[in-house]
Structure 1
């Protein structure tokens, strides 16, 4: 008679990490498979049902449920004392048990040092690259005598196990607002505007549009037409091109529908051109209500734009002084 399956208990944070690991394409297959076993266990599936989905037998499913059950108390301690290392602790629970044989040549301390180098800029090591590659990282840790030798593949495995991707990067924007309370208040206003957009669109047909410019776009013309793809040959694009200067694309994104509104190509991005772009956008529904989200570029809060908005709203009151925080600009905007 089969025994009772170990109960899988999870906290909210543990549940989020297990779901992420079960869907991830970057973690090892076994880790994702075991995370899915636990996710399905939480959802109430039987071991036989889980086994069919993950392509294991029911005994193997039971092993990982029991391992989680036995480790859960210690995971809760990790979550309370060092929450930033909870993912690492869960990965340790889902990892293969130590195998018999000679111990690995690279110690845990050496692995930690390798990962620390991966988190540094290559420029600190005098390397003329912007981001680490596995080979460059291997060469650097050998040069620093952290290890005597190491394969490029092993470097990749260490990075993958630690969810580090030094070869990738994302853009971010540093705020110029020095007062954290002011920044938090203004950021909350912008975020709330995005969150309110679907409700306002459904209730009153309000258009919420995020608008900005992409500047210095090169207008290039290829000197010969592309050659189409053929059996055994990919499509070919002419290497030589003629420059036709640069252009600026101004466009708005309807944050509810995802539609691009009034895309405009201009040679520059002047105050008058931005007002014309807003006017063309509003004319698509001249009787509707519009909310525009823009950054703090001076043309986005120009006197011309404020006067145009005031005219559309039928507001003949004095606008106040330019750049004044108490001027009519903010009253009209609200």
Structure 2
């Protein structure tokens, strides 16, 4: 039976045990969100021994060389010594510089990191609350032009991170984990092509950054943005989107509620098979968006999607 060691603690586990489960079953409270190797909240550092790794490509090469692994994707095959991610030691400090409610349920959080981060619109970061809750959130800020990092937190349902965020005050310190690149991005090669941005809820956050990145790069093709919200009060960026559309006539914005969605989707028609579509939101909503786009004739390799997973 392989032995697992963390600090002064040492115990045996069944061969092939999932590393995340083995650590949490021992009471070590390693955070996680997706269990799919995407959120990177469950990082641990291997000090001795090598675990089986189902997703070796999920981490950058330099991170792997430093011993970091995603515990949800690892199995214990031999004696293993690991160190847990310590946000105080391994995380980048960031000060809360903005806290305001954009709607009854969407909290806008702005952070100023201790050192500047190089990132692209559409990426996400793991945020660590002061009480040690870790969750991944998409960046809504525009890289290179804004001196803060912006996140849109969906606080409609209770959740450990949202509950902690409600207690934050200006000047508080959070810690930043790994910067991740998801499926969403803007490619300058798309400049002449129609661009569709399909968002549900706070899936609008990364697309808000990508939209402004496209306009900053002088996107010439038409842009259509659809935002699905639970009710009209939750179209939390409606004024900002309207202002942007008034300055950029090629931008068309459509604000939808669930009752309006079926008719709106049925009416979607591709202007060109060169259209590129980006979708973000819950799995059910992204599936609805994707199915309609494919039925309308969009080639599958021209749709990029990020799925938001609910956080406990």
Task: Give the TM-score of the pair, scaled to structure 2.
Answer: 0.24
Greater percentage in strand: 2
Higher relative contact order (CA closer than 8 Å, sequence separation 6+): 2
Greater percentage in helix: 1
Task: Give the TM-score of the pair, scaled to structure 1.
Answer: 0.23
Larger radius of gyration: 1
